[in-house]
Chain A
Amino acid sequence: MRLLAGFARFWWDFIVGDDWRIAAGVLLVLGVGAVLVSSARASDPLVATLTAVGIMLVAIGSIVVAALRARRG
């Protein structure tokens, strides 16, 4: 069990790293994109553009949070 937990922990640290918000934000945005695609309510180019913008907003949010933390020390 400890070995399994260690294995999971290693991959979590490896991929998600020290800011889980990036992973959560990316999954959230892609989830919204998936809903739009499956409901066929928007064209491919529109979904692609909106999803890309959403991902970039996630990146901006993560950078701002990290910068504020770094300034606070």
Chain B
Amino acid sequence: MGNAVGVVAATLLASGVEFVEALTIVLAMGTTRGWRSTWIGVGAALAALAVVTAIAGYALQSWLPEALLQLVVGTLLLIFGLQWLRKAILRSAGLKALHDEDETFRSEVEAARAAGDERRLGLDWFAFVVSFKGVFLEGLEIVFIVLTFGLNGDSIPLAVLGAALGGVIVLGAGFALHKPLARVPENTIKFVVGLLLSTFGTFWAVEGLGWFGPGDTSLRWPGGDAALLVLLALWGLLAWAAVRVLSRRPQEAT
């Protein structure tokens, strides 16, 4: 049950925050360069993401034994999650600039206006390429999280449901307002996602260490699945303490 809630929460929040960033780029292209080439770029990116998901999902599920899958996927998730968490902590402590969707939108619009009028395959090439890259790169992070959570939690449908919900909420709001979602508390969401990725990544990577043992089975955590809650609390405590300490000005700290 805790696993299922964690899978849906992590994929929903992660996809929501990535969709916010992709939406900003798509809106900037669509409103300045026209919607036809922009939508074709979005569609091509979604098709490419579907292919990547199918190939990577099939390969991971078919070729790796369970414990090794936990080790590989858990390690990737952990490294990925710790990057998110570290950046979120630095932003919360004021040591790194917050992501500003309005500013991103303005610079994308400026670039779109300054770009030439190159046409290829009957498309506005600049709008096509920028929309494709924006959606593909942001979408790849969602695919990565959906696959890792879905395969290891044995719950691909739940992971897809979470990601789809995040997409529907963000795209619905974005196209209703017709402007970037600058008021979404991106760093707070990234903080929570970073905590969830680090928690599940630690849990699964350690379970996967059992692959090196004689039985080739997953390592047992003390307390079984309840260890997830302890890990989440510890990662939360560590992050909270880091923000508190780093938020102090240097002269206060001494």
Contact = CB atoms under 8 A, between A and B. Distances in A.
Q: Does A associate with B in a complex?
A: yes
A38 to B, nearest CB: 4
Provide the main secondary structure of the chain A interface. helix
A6 interface: no
A40 B242 contact: no
Interface string B181-212: 00000000000000000100010011001101
Interface residues of A, number: 35
B234 interface: yes
B140 interface: yes
Contact of B246 (A34, A35, A44, A67): A67
B179 interface: no
Given A15-B79, A49-B222, A59-B238, A34 B212 contact: yes
B227 interface: yes
Interface stretch (B23-31, B87-95, B106-114, B149-157): B87-95
A8 interface: no
Given A59-B238, A63-B242, A67-B246, A48 B219 contact: yes
A56 B86 contact: no
Query: Which of A15, A26, A63 gathers most chain B CB within 10 Å?
Result: A63
